Amino acid sequence: MTDIRSICIDEYDYPLPEERIAKYPLAERDASKLLVMKGDTIQASQFKHIGDFLPPKALLVFNETKVIRARLQFQKETGSHIEVFCLEPDDDYQIAFSSPSPVRWKCLVGNSKRWREGMLTMHLNINGHDIILTAERIEKNDQYSEIQFSWTPSELPFATILEAAGEIPLPPYLNREAEPEDRDRYQTVFAKYDGSVAAPTAGLHFTKPLLEQLSRDGFELDEVTLHVGAGTFRPVATPTIGEHAMHSETIVVRRSLIENLIRHIGSPIIPVGTTSTRTLESLYWIGMMLTEQGMDWRPLHVEQWYPYEEHPALTTRESLEKIIAYLDLHQLTHLEASTALMIAPSYQMRVITGLITNFHQPKSTLLLLVSALIGERWKKAYRFALDNGFRFLSYGDSCLFL
């Protein structure tokens, strides 16, 4: 183990004035500013021109996850408001969203002391039909509550219930309630698979015409899925990062993407966002796990500190080919796994060669990831952004690091 656990989080702090946090999105997605950093050189441009700065024939990898309306606002007969924030289902995501009543989810409960027992009830109208949604707390622990949701008529899928009852879960640092425009703008134009409680925000800058232009210009576009958890907003609150517990997130990767990565070894591979980065880098360590533990190893989960332990020498190609062999053995078209991978300074990138991302919170694991890629130059980039009117965080401007 390297000394990574002793890294002091105060070294990844910077002053972020409240007025520099973008509270609302721009009207046009690709009108955001773009900071381009290659080596020590910084340029400012507009996101719509990102194709001018990407390496020729780069493979861009997007996260296709879709933000769910995870915030449910209940009101007790006493008048107390109880917020139930859906984190993740007990079952597979797609099964959970297509399931009829009842379903169980891990949830955060706001104003929890006001809800000691009994059921919460919400009345809905869906396509002219009256629906009754109930929430029952089955179990409570330090991290979350286990909530069972039931509704009548019971045959409706839970996705329909959430769509009607829930609110878009905006990041807490925006300090405002979700508004109608957020339903569209806090969702990427390529979102497909329900499961996230936060948007993969680097993808918010892309428009369909820009994606089509990038394809015409010879860039290859591919997709992964990582369902973003609420832990992505949790800053490191301990003096050193070794005391910080990374949240775990579900990833789903098509076999065709892994084959595409193998073809692009030695060529530019640029993830769109930190979630795509975590997914791609986790693939290398899943291949390592299959090499070390055997092809029947279950569950496929990348632990936080696994990459920083001693492992046999394994090239990126060998690791990805091991995953292909695993999929062949088990007759699978998709790899499903989970990752708690922490990418921090001293981490060696195994798959990616650049990054498209937003500007992240001080003392965050996302800022640690950026530093792992570009080192101390993150300070120069962030200082440039602060000095030149860039907007920060989820609805803010963007960076391209090469």
* Model pLDDT for residues 10-53, shown as the tens digit of each residue: 999 999 999 999 999 999 999 999 999 999 999 999 999 999 99
Cα angle value 332/288/240 (rounded, 5°): 120
Residues 299 and 202 in one domain: yes
pLDDT at 389: 97
Task: Kindly report the three-state secondary structure assignment for every residue of 119-136.
Answer: EEEEEEEECCEEEEEEEE
Same domain? 385 vs 251: yes
Number of domains composing the chain: 2
Please report whether residue 176 resides in a domain: no
Of residues 95 and 291, more confidently modeled: 291
- Which of these three, 134, 166, 198, is where a domain ends? 166
Q: Are residues 110 and 237 in the same domain?
A: no
* pLDDT for the residue 2: 47
Question: Contact at 8 Å (CB) between 55 and 402?
Answer: yes
Average pLDDT over every residue of 216-236: 91
Whether 61 and 200 have beta carbons less than 8 Å apart is answered as no
**Do 259 and 277 reside in the same domain of the chain?**
yes
Is 171 among the domain residues? Answer: no
For residues 56 and 84, state if they share a domain.
no
Provide the pLDDT confidence category of residue 103 given band limits of 50, 70 and 90.
Answer: very high
Identify whether residues 17 and 152 lie together within a single domain: no
**What value does the mean pLDDT of the chain take?**
94
Res 180 pLDDT > 60: yes
Dihedral of the alpha carbons of 285, 286, 288, 294, in degrees to the nearest 10: 160
Residue 209, in any domain of the structure: yes
Predicted pLDDT of residue 84: 95
Q: Give the model's pLDDT for residue 330.
A: 95
For CA atoms 138, 140, 141, 143, give the dihedral sign: positive
Shared domain check, 59 and 90: no
Could you tell me if 295 and 154 lie in one domain?
Answer: no
Question: Whole-angstrom Cα distance, residue 147 to residue 284?
Answer: 35
In a domain, 179, yes or no: no
- Residue 264 domain boundaries: 3-66+184-401
Q: Say yes or no: 61 and 77 in one domain.
A: no
Q: Could you read off the pLDDT of 145-166 as tens digits, one per residue? A: 999 999 998 999 999 999 999 9
> In this predicted structure, which of 105-114, 189-198, 246-255 has the lowest mean pLDDT?
105-114
Q: pTM, whole model, 2 decimals? A: 0.93
Percentage above 90 pLDDT, the chain = 87
Q: What is the CATH number of the domain that holds 245?
A: 3.40.1780.10
Q: How far is residue 81's CA from residue 112's CA, in Å, rounded to a whole number?
A: 10
Last residue in a domain, options 103, 131, 166: 166
Domain final position from 136, 166, 196: 166
**Residue 15: inside a domain:** yes
pLDDT for the residue numbered 243: 93
- The residues facing 131 across adjacent strands are 124
Residues 223 and 189 in one domain: yes
Q: Is residue 251 situated within a structural domain?
A: yes
Do 276 and 62 contact (CB within 8 A), yes or no?
yes
Residue by residue, DSSP assigns 44-94 as EEEGGGGGGTSPTTPEEEEE-EEE---EEEEE-TTS-EEEEEEEEESS-HH
pLDDT in tens, 243-267: 999 989 999 999 999 999 999 999 9
Token readout for 77 is: 């007969």
Same structural domain, 38 and 143: no
Same domain, 263 and 292: yes
